[in-house]
Structures are given as C-alpha cells and as structure tokens.
Amino acid sequence: MSQDANITSTPTVNDIARVAQVSLATVDRVLNARPGVRKITVDKVNKAIEDLGYVRDTAAANLARGRIYNLVFILPDTTNEFIRSLELEIAALTDVLKRDRTKITNMRVAAFDPMALSRAMNEIDPAKVDGVAIFGPETPSVRDSIARLRASGISVVSLVADIPSSERDHYIGVDNIAAGRTAAQLLGRFVGDKAGRILVLTGSMLARDHLERRLGFDEVISRDFPHLDVMASLEGRDDPALVETLLPIALKGARDVIGIYSSAAGNDGLVRYLDAHPEHSQLKIIAHELTPLSRMALGKGQFDAVISQNAGHLVRSAVRVLRAYSDKLPINSAQEQIRIDIYLKENMPLD
Amino acid sequence: MSQDANITSTPTVNDIARVAQVSLATVDRVLNARPGVRKITVDKVNKAIEDLGYVRDTAAANLARGRIYNLVFILPDTTNEFIRSLELEIAALTDVLKRDRTKITNMRVAAFDPMALSRAMNEIDPAKVDGVAIFGPETPSVRDSIARLRASGISVVSLVADIPSSERDHYIGVDNIAAGRTAAQLLGRFVGDKAGRILVLTGSMLARDHLERRLGFDEVISRDFPHLDVMASLEGRDDPALVETLLPIALKGARDVIGIYSSAAGNDGLVRYLDAHPEHSQLKIIAHELTPLSRMALGKGQFDAVISQNAGHLVRSAVRVLRAYSDKLPINSAQEQIRIDIYLKENMPLD
DNA sequence: GTGAAAGCGCTAACAA
DNA sequence: TTGTTAGCGCTTTCAC
C-alpha cells in the first residue's frame, strides 16, 4: 500500500538534531519545554524545528511515554433516559478507547446536590487523573472544586449545563438559551394564530440549563407570538410521579392551554398523563432530548417536535477535548460545537 | 501524570510470544495472516491471543510500518456553496491529519458528467491510494469504476448521494427520502390550513439525492396535507442564472403558489429573485444546506427553515470510515450516521 | 517454518 | 548543560 510515496518524508526529531547539531535528548528537552538547556541552544533547536516544519508524532510520543489518558465522568445519579443515554455512550466509548490509550471512569453523585459533587471532585487523585467532565449545578463549592482540580493540573469540562463563572477549560453542550428560543419558534408556528396559554414543564430552576431554556423561550414567545401567554414553570424535579401529580392541577387551573414546552427530563410523567387523557390530543407539544420514550411519543403524534443534543457527540467531544487540553493541543471548535437538533418524526434517526 | 496506574497492563506481542512459546516474528505473521506458519503454530498463537485478551495497538503498528493513509476525494467541480463548504472542510482536515499519518488528495471532475468521474477513478493508482470518496451520479460506468477500485484493494465510499447498486463499502450522507419527508412536514405545518400550490426547485432528476428528496416530499404532502398541490419540479441544474430565469415564469403561471421547496443547490438564484421581488415575502420557503447565503436568508426571514447535513461531519466521517476499512477495523455506525439537521434562525450555529 | 535483531519516532534514565 | 543508550509495541529484513 502507500508506505511513503513522497520523496521528502516528514521531518523527525533526528532531522532536528542533525540540523541543529545537538543530541536527541536536547531536542526532546526543548520540545517538551524541560529546563536545563542554554537559551542559545534552545534557539538553535527552535530554528531547526521552524525551518524543517516539524510536527510532532503524538502517537509515537505516547508510545514512548507509556502514556495512558485517565478521564473521569461525574454524572448525577438520576435514572432518567437522558442520563442513561449518556452512560450508554460512555460505556460504548470505553471499549473503543482501549485501542487508544484512554481509560474512562464513570462516577455518579446524588442529583441536585452540589456538596456531593464537590466531595467527589475533591477525592480525585491528581496523580492518577488527566481530565474530568462534570454535569452539575453552578454553586460556590463546585466552583472551588473545579479551581482545585485545575490548580493540580487536571483539565475540567462542564457537560450539558455550563458553569461559566468557574475555571472550567471548556463547555460541552448546547447553547440552552438558543434551545429555548428554538422551542418557542417551533411551538409558536405549530399552534398557528390561535391565542391561548402555554405550559412550561421544567426540572429545577436551580439548574442552569433549565433556567436558560426558559429565558430563551420567553424571549421569543413575547417577541414573535404575543397572543400566547406563558405560565409559570412547573418544577417537576425530573421526577415522573411528581410531574404526573402536578400536571392535572395545572391544566385544570387553566382550561385554555394550547401548548406545552417540556424543557427538562419530565417527559416520562408527561407521556403517562397524555396516555391516560386522550382528550388533550390537540395540545401542541415540544419536548427535549431524543430518547426511546420521546421517539415513541413523536411517532404517535403526541409530541410535535423534540429539541435534542446528541449524547454520543457530547461524550466523544468531551473525551477529545480533555485529551487535547491534556496534551496542550489545539481543539477543532467546529467539530466540538454541539448542535441544537430538531427532530420531527420524519427525521428521527433510525436507531 | 497517569503513566501506568494499573498492575495488569495490557498484553503486547511479547506476552503472546512468551505464552505461545514462539518468536515475535511468528506472532506477527499470525496477527497479519501471513503465510508460512504451520497450522498447529497458528493455533497456539491464536489461543494465547484469546487467553490474554490481546488488542493490537494500531498506532504502534503504523509507526513500525511507516504507514501513511492515502485518501482521495472526488467532487464535482461546480462552485456552489455546499461543494465549497465540503472543500473547506477537506482543506481544514488535511492539516489536522498531518499529525495522523493521513494524506488527502482533492480531485474535481466535471459536474453531471459520469464519464469524467469514471475516468478520474480509473486513473487512480492502487499502489498509492488506500481509499476514495466520491460524490457523483449512479451510472453503469461509475459502478464499473467502483468495482475496479474495490477489486484492486481500494476502499470506496459514496458521499452525499448514495450509489446503492454499486460495490461501494459505505454511504456517507443523509437518507434523502427522509430529508424530503422532513421538508414536507415542516412546510405543511408552516403554511397552516391554507390551500395552494407548492413549487419544487431541484437540480437534476438524474441526481439520486435530488430525486429521493422529491419522492419523500410528495409522499408526506399527499398523506398529511392533501389540500396542498405540488407542481412539477423545476430543474435548475444548480445554476443560479437558470433558476433566476425559470422562477418568474413558473410563479406567473401559478398565482396561487404559497410555498417553495428548494431541494438542491438553487438557493443562490432563488434568493436573488426574492430580493428583487419583495411582493413574495409571504411565501413559506424550505431550502437545503446551511451556507452563508442560506444563513442570511434564514436571518432575514426569507427562508423559514433549512434542512442540512453537516459538511464537517461528512468529511470527517468519510476519513474515519475509509481508514477503518483500510485497516479492516470495525466502524461506529452511530457516530458515522449523518443526521438530517433542521435549522430555524433560532438554532443556527454561530459560526 | 521459524527466529534474531534492527528500526519506526519519541522519551527517559544515566553518564559525562 | 549536554549526550549516549535502551526501550515503548510492532513490523521486517535476513538468517537458519
């Protein structure tokens, strides 16, 4: 096959050593910014690197180092479908990454409990871990734990819900304000010219992702669909039973509800309620996250659209980004941008 | 950092050699299915591989071989924005892949010209190339060229438009029938209860992707929106000038057009026409492919939605798949599945 | 049929 | 401050 077709093969450390007239060890010291090299020698080597257009072969370097990327995911231990899909993707990737010198550890901490998350982060051993991905709330204790990890050389990314006030290296997830805007635009168009009220189902207003979606939603409804009236959020705390209890009360209190925005992980309770109350089949409903349940609801016409973010993409992106930070390599921001997916029953992926 | 934290490090060829009581060379022969090893020895080695749970370190293998992946993209030489975005992504990836022992060559052939494509494919030297990605029509000559490449050990993937009757290893692109269905569902909902006619703008009915979109579109309109009447396709051959000429004729001939489905690369001519004829601002319009032009049209409200496939994802996926086939490694079909993206102005990615 | 040994690009003792 | 050398996991001559 194509061994080395081109005459001028890519330069290696040996070429640098030869051109700069130094030894391999010195080249290596300069490449890895290790101390103990005279400034003048450093310059000589750097010039050679520049002249030759050298790019380091990361695979060879990792082989020589015996390097293993040790990454940790910390997720809330709720059992909703979205979290489960993240877990499945992590598990799937764990196997694939064996080929790739990367080890993933999956931790769970109590949901909606910042202190539990902080404790878990504080227990991480900097000698053994290269990067951490967390999905949790934005509180002072969490911020502190992030700072502590960063200070000990560990890269940190926030997953799904951002923690912008912290020192996290990167956020992996959608722009939740834009997601809320998108939901509003779809719902507004789907209900048509009819006036009426919109019910918003959320998890917890403490969760930044939920809060942001609501903000974006309200913004577009009031701007583009002033004939619609958005009610106060129903906080279901991602608990199906709670949602199923709260829904009938809310719907009874407002007979003119014509649409629902299920902005968090309350789809379970919502669908159960809809199944039991077919009289609400006229409601236009936009939900979040494509899961087995929401697929079914889309297919049956209970949901009109689902706003989603691809769990596989989230997890793979987190791994790529953590490895890149760990190697101080650049990241491809276009590739790592998580898109706000819109699914109708027509464009649902098969699987 | 995390050098080798675990006690039982992953098994290597040395371990296999030791356990099977053979030399490294023999292990290598078995691993790579090379001849000249007695059956009994092969079995011994395979047993050791099995027992140890060995997985080959591809990076180390590639290093030792001096292997370079040589991939070729063949695209039509039209200058529309979608092709251009593919080109940009290819160019961007070309740099990144230098770190990764992968060389990409980008070829262009006359558009809508199967023979030109075949000639280009036939000129490829199997000694120098590992994989080819093509975006072109499904004709006998193209099929033959694909078969020829495959026979000489080169992997082939079809890009954007499938060639299912051929021996291509894989198709990288969206399900275009589903894309057409999605466009229909959106357009149907956006026009509301109003009856009227729908104009479909296409490139060429010879192109499988265009044809399939139309099929899916008609299916959903006739099923879910029988009050809408879809007119015969306007074939713009992806030529802005032609589209701009044909459009006014079509619209004049049918005064009751209330929606347009721009299913191919005719957005350029369409937008120019809309700019010049603001009286058509009530038209509901669904177009294909998110590009600078369609972004602008979405932002201004000229387009109501854009159906798209991510060019970066297409290109990266093609590379991953071609490398995997070339190494006879499994592919992650979930990751390689190209999604049918729906964009409103609210969920357009920033960049 | 099988094995010994050198080497891919890079790193890391250990000397000097 | 610098250089020599062995070795990471795998492949590949070249002997035997």
Q: Which of A265, A263, A206 is nearest to A239 (CA)?
A: A265
Q: Which amino acid is at B326?
A: S
Degrees, nearest 5: CA angle A317-A321-A323: 120
Percent of chain A with pLDDT over 90: 83
Contacts of A332 in chain B (CB under 8 A): 92, 96
Q: What is the mean pLDDT of chain B?
A: 93
Q: Residue A105: enclosing H or E segment and its boundaries?
A: strand A102-109
Token couple for A198: 């919109």
Percent of chain B with pLDDT over 70: 98
Judged against a pLDDT cut of 90, whether residue B310 lies above it is answered with yes
Query: What DSSP letter does each residue of B43-110 carry, written as one string?
Result: HHHHHHHHHHT----HHHHHHHHT--EEEEEEEE----HHHHHHHHHHHHHHHHGGGGTEEEEEEEE-
Strands (E), B188-324: 196-202, 228-230, 234-235, 257-262, 284-288, 305-308
Judged against a pLDDT cut of 80, whether residue B193 lies above it is answered with yes
Residue-wise pLDDT for B268-283, tens only, equals 999 999 999 999 999 9
Mean pLDDT of B192-212: 91
pLDDT at B160: 95
Judged against a pLDDT cut of 90, whether residue B338 lies above it is answered with yes
pLDDT at A195: 95
Q: Which three-class secondary structure state does DSSP give residue A285?
A: strand
Cβ–Cβ gap A344/B342 under 8 Å:
yes
Judged against a pLDDT cut of 90, whether residue B305 lies above it is answered with yes
Judged against a pLDDT cut of 90, whether residue B237 lies above it is answered with no
Judged against a pLDDT cut of 90, whether residue A6 lies above it is answered with no
Mean pLDDT of B194-223: 94
Nucleotide with smallest C1' distance to residue A63 CA: D8
Judged against a pLDDT cut of 70, whether residue A5 lies above it is answered with no
pLDDT at A3: 38
Q: Which of B101, B110, B73 is nearest to B89 (CA)?
A: B73
Per-residue confidence band for B221, with pLDDT thresholds at 50, 70 and 90: very high
Cβ count near A121 (within 10 Å)? 24
Mean pLDDT of A243-247: 89
Task: List residues bridging with A229 in a β-sheet.
Answer: A197
Cβ–Cβ gap A68/B4 under 8 Å:
yes
Q: Check whether residue B58 has its CB closer than 7 Å to nucleic acid strand C.
A: no
Cβ–Cβ gap A347/B181 under 8 Å:
yes
Looking at chain A, which residue has its C-alpha nearest residue B219? A346
pLDDT at B319: 97
Mean pLDDT of B33-45: 95
Strand order, beta sheet including B131-134? B102-109, B69-76, B131-134, B155-159, B170-172
pLDDT at A1: 43
Q: Rounded to a whole number, what is the distance in Å from the CA of A242 to chain B's nearest CA?
A: 31
Looking at chain B, which residue has its C-alpha nearest residue A338? B349
- Residues with Cβ within 8 Å of residue A191, at least 6 apart in sequence: A225, A228, A258, A259, A284
Q: Which of B306, B250, B238, B307 is nearest to B277 (CA)?
A: B250
Residue-wise pLDDT for A17-66, tens only, equals 999 999 999 999 999 999 999 999 999 999 999 999 999 999 999 999 99
Rounded Cα distance, B111 and B75, in Å: 8
Judged against a pLDDT cut of 60, whether residue A4 lies above it is answered with no
Token couple for A68: 């293993």
Rounded Cα distance, A298 and A293, in Å: 9
- Residues with Cβ within 8 Å of residue B158, at least 6 apart in sequence: B133, B134, B135, B166, B168, B170, B171, B172, B173
Q: Which of A259, A130, A96, A122 is nearest to A184 (CA)?
A: A259
Looking at chain B, which residue has its C-alpha nearest residue A102? B2
Contacts of A350 in chain B (CB under 8 A): 337
pLDDT at B254: 81
A259 alpha-carbon distance from chain centroid: 28
Rounded Cα distance, B316 and B308, in Å: 16
Rounded Cα distance, B130 and A202, in Å: 51
pLDDT at A80: 87
> Residue B16 half-sphere exposure, CB side, CA atoms within 13 Å?
27
pLDDT at A8: 59
Judged against a pLDDT cut of 60, whether residue B291 lies above it is answered with yes
Per-residue confidence band for B6, with pLDDT thresholds at 50, 70 and 90: very low
Cβ–Cβ gap A98/B55 under 8 Å:
yes
Per-residue confidence band for A99, with pLDDT thresholds at 50, 70 and 90: confident
Interatomic separation, CA of residue B44 and C1' of nucleotide D4, rounded (Å): 40
Per-residue confidence band for A79, with pLDDT thresholds at 50, 70 and 90: confident
pLDDT at A231: 94
Judged against a pLDDT cut of 50, whether residue A296 lies above it is answered with yes
B111 alpha-carbon distance from chain centroid: 17
Nucleotide with smallest C1' distance to residue B29 CA: D11
Q: What is the mean pLDDT of chain A?
A: 93
